[in-house]
Amino acid sequence: MDERVREHADVLVDWSARVEAGDDVVLSVGPDAHDLAVAVAERLGERGANLLATYSSGELTRAYLRAHDGTFDEPPDHELALFEETDVYLSLGGGRNISAMADVPGETRQAYSSGRTAVREARLGTRWVSTVHPTRSLAQRAGMAYEEYRSFAYDAILRDWEALAEEMGRMKDVLDDGSTVRLVSGGTDLTLRIDGRTAVNSAASVAYDSHNLPSGEVFTAPYATDGEVTFDVPMTIRGESVRNVRLAFEDGVVVDHDAERGADVITEVLETDVGARRLGELGVGMNRGIDRYTDNILFDEKMGDTVHLALGRAYDACLPDDESATESAVHVDLLLDVSENSRLEVDGEVVQRNGRFRWEDGFDG
3-class SS at 148?
Answer: helix
Pick between residue 66 and residue 292 the one whose CB is nearest to its own copies. Answer: 66
Is residue 42 close enough to count as binding its own copies by CB under 8 A?
yes
Residue of the chain from 2, 66, 187, 340 that contacts its own copies (CB under 8 A): 66
Shortest approach of its own copies to residue 71 CB, angstroms?
Answer: 8
Backbone angles phi, psi at 111, to 5 degrees: -65, -40
Pick between residue 51 and residue 207 the one whose CB is nearest to its own copies. Answer: 51
How many residues does this entry show for the chain? 365
Which residue stretch of 75-83, 241-249, 276-284, 287-295 sits at the interface with its own copies (rule: CB under 8 A)?
Answer: 75-83
Shortest approach of its own copies to residue 92 CB, angstroms?
Answer: 10
Number of residues that bind its own copies (CB under 8 A): 51
Helix, strand, coil % over all residues of the chain, rounded to 5: 35, 30, 35
C-alpha 70, offset from chain centre: 29
> Per-residue DSSP letters for 191-258?
EEE-TT---EEE-SSGGGT--EES--EEEE--EEEEEEEEE-S-EEETTEEEEEEEEEEETTEEEEEE
Is residue 74 close enough to count as binding its own copies by CB under 8 A?
yes
Is residue 125 close enough to count as binding its own copies by CB under 8 A?
no
Which residue stretch of 70-78, 142-150, 292-300, 334-342 sits at the interface with its own copies (rule: CB under 8 A)?
Answer: 70-78
Q: 344, 284 in Cβ contact below 8 A?
A: yes
Is residue 59 close enough to count as binding its own copies by CB under 8 A?
yes
Is residue 120 close enough to count as binding its own copies by CB under 8 A?
no
Is residue 264 close enough to count as binding its own copies by CB under 8 A?
no
Shortest approach of its own copies to residue 312 CB, angstroms?
Answer: 30
Is residue 64 close enough to count as binding its own copies by CB under 8 A?
yes
Is residue 364 close enough to count as binding its own copies by CB under 8 A?
no
Is residue 37 close enough to count as binding its own copies by CB under 8 A?
yes
Shortest approach of its own copies to residue 25 CB, angstroms?
Answer: 8
Shortest approach of its own copies to residue 56 CB, angstroms?
Answer: 8
Is residue 98 close enough to count as binding its own copies by CB under 8 A?
no
Q: Which residue type does 301 have? A: E
> Per-residue DSSP letters for 39-70?
HHHHHHHHHT-EEEEEE--HHHHHHHHHHS-S
Pick between residue 86 and residue 210 the one whose CB is nearest to its own copies. Answer: 86
Using alpha carbons, select from 210, 168, 208, 174 the residue that is nearest to residue 194: 174
Is residue 104 close enough to count as binding its own copies by CB under 8 A?
no
Q: 314, 296 in Cβ contact below 8 A?
A: no
* Site residues, its own copies (CB under 8 A): 21-22, 24, 26-27, 29, 31, 34, 37-39, 41-46, 48, 50-57, 59-61, 63-69, 71, 74-87
